[in-house]
Structure 1
């Protein structure tokens, strides 16, 4: 509702206001949380308490999603302003400078994710890997273009490669050792 009010009033929020509302309206924290439902008995109540307490890794992953989406899709907006306009207004910079600074924010968020994945945590690693993998997906989805909105391009090729034309298992040479990712 807040974003609808902003749109109707043609209000450009501050960066802080925008981040507070847009990270929630993106539903990304909900997607992270709901990804744990399919993990069976491992997903105990403490895990859900942890993920909903806004840990650093979830915040960083959400920032990656929101910033990258806004950077590649801001030209197409017919709805609430993007973080680019907020940044331009708050800091009096050009669009290009705002994008560069927001890209630095994405880089910093990746550093936060790496830090959280490398240090001992209060939750099992599998739960951190869900967040890391979702961030990787977002990186593919919004790297150079908005593949969510325009899925017929690069995203279609990725999906076809994965689901339509997958590598047949029987074509793998028997003498090759598989890659093991830890």
Structure 2
């Protein structure tokens, strides 16, 4: 069937297929068969029916089966409310809960609530441990200018290692995260170039001592002493900070490419992810250790995302008077005719490219465990939230969540 529409300067012709042609007839037959399968499944295999409904909804063709779906879900709701209903596995329970809630059924979330309270309790114990560790370390008193935000730093660990069973790993991971922030503040705000050179040697020894404690725990649990790798990562970080300090002291910023090569190291991501690799304790052997020491793409792409996000100027939480260089500044000095917005767009494109690289690494064969790969991805996912201190409405909920976790602890700055 063909028809046309003419209205003013607009005209269009359409051809509607006959409902009696072969594709339409085959479509009607398939819809009828699927409806029969759904109807026949209703009282036999609950999980199969739930999966079928979920599949139909994801394909966007569930509107063909409204009556069958309504009847099936109503049966599921009645059976679920009965004390004699047959239990499903975790996947089935979760799927049934979502589909019933989605259609407006009142289904108890008691299990989810209990699980949430258990996880909250675990996180609160972790926060108490971190608060005590940070207080005993004494850096907040000695370095008045540095950030004093152990709870915020622990949010990284909570978001990256989400498995409740990884409580010890989260606590240990927060320690290097905290120290990365402190070193950043010291190099950004404290001392002359000569002072920083002396500090670099001293701080290397300090963090070597701190890594001994973490290394001992890893060796006891996983049978591998990572102290050489951890110390190497700290030295590389401090050297990168010192290189930046030399640039700013001389007043001569490097080319943007050189800045970024150094900046992905000074981001601290490598230090944190090396610690995390050993704390997870999965797939540790000479090959993977050499690989992680060598700044592999899965780490460098994550570090690139953090460095460039930070350099876009969205991290306004620091309240610092120091002078940080940035990729944006280096790029605009090299290309003075480029507008700020054009330069920012270039940085956003680099972030997009780094994300593509990270996604490729996560989807490709890798010597790393799935847990480590997912944790690297989680770091990148958290960056826009942790480094977007403008009008981002999600920050209000983040602060509220942090306060709720620390409700029983003494007040901490955010």
Shorter-chain TM-score bucket reads: 0.7 to 0.9
Aligned CA distance change for structure 1 residues 112 and 163 (closer, same or farther; 3 Å): farther
Which residue number corresponds to residue 363 of structure 2?
118
Which residue number corresponds to residue 57 of structure 1?
298
How far 1:77 sits from its partner (Å)?
Answer: 6.7
Find the residue that maps to 2:281 and give its secondary structure: helix
Contact 2:385/2:394 (8 A) holds in 1:
no
Q: Deviations over 1:43-97 (max 9, x none)?
A: 4443322222222221110100000001024887732421101111223312111
Contact 2:305/2:351 (8 A) holds in 1:
yes
Which residue number corresponds to residue 308 of structure 2?
67
Q: Deviations over 1:122-176 (max 9, x none)?
A: 22222211211111111221246499xxxxx8546315326726xxxxxxxxxxx
Please identify, of 114-123 and 155-164, the stretch whose mean Cα deviation from structure 2 is larger. 155-164
Find the residue that maps to 1:120 and give its secondary structure: coil
CA RMSD of aligned residues (A): 2.9
Please identify, of 137-146 and 94-103, the stretch whose mean Cα deviation from structure 2 is larger. 137-146
TM norm structure 2: 0.35
Contact 2:315/2:389 (8 A) holds in 1:
no
Q: Which structure's relative contact order is higher, taking Cα pairs within 8 Å and 6+ residues apart? A: 1
Contact 1:63/1:106 (8 A) holds in 2:
yes
TM norm structure 1: 0.75
Contact 1:4/1:80 (8 A) holds in 2:
no
Distance 1:88 1:41 in 2: 44
Contact 1:74/1:82 (8 A) holds in 2:
no
Find the residue that maps to 2:295 and give its secondary structure: coil
Contact 1:15/1:83 (8 A) holds in 2:
yes
State which of 322, 343, 346 in structure 2 corresponds to 1:98: 343
Which residue number corresponds to residue 33 of structure 1?
274
Which residue number corresponds to residue 174 of structure 1?
none
Which residue number corresponds to residue 18 of structure 1?
259
State which of 339, 354, 378 in structure 2 corresponds to 1:109: 354
2:401 corresponds to 1:164:
no
Find the residue that maps to 1:11 and give its secondary structure: coil
Aligned CA distance change for structure 1 residues 41 and 62 (closer, same or farther; 3 Å): closer
2:362 corresponds to 1:131:
no
Distance 2:400 2:299 in 1: 29
- Higher Cα Rg: structure 1 or 2? 2
Contact 2:288/2:367 (8 A) holds in 1:
no
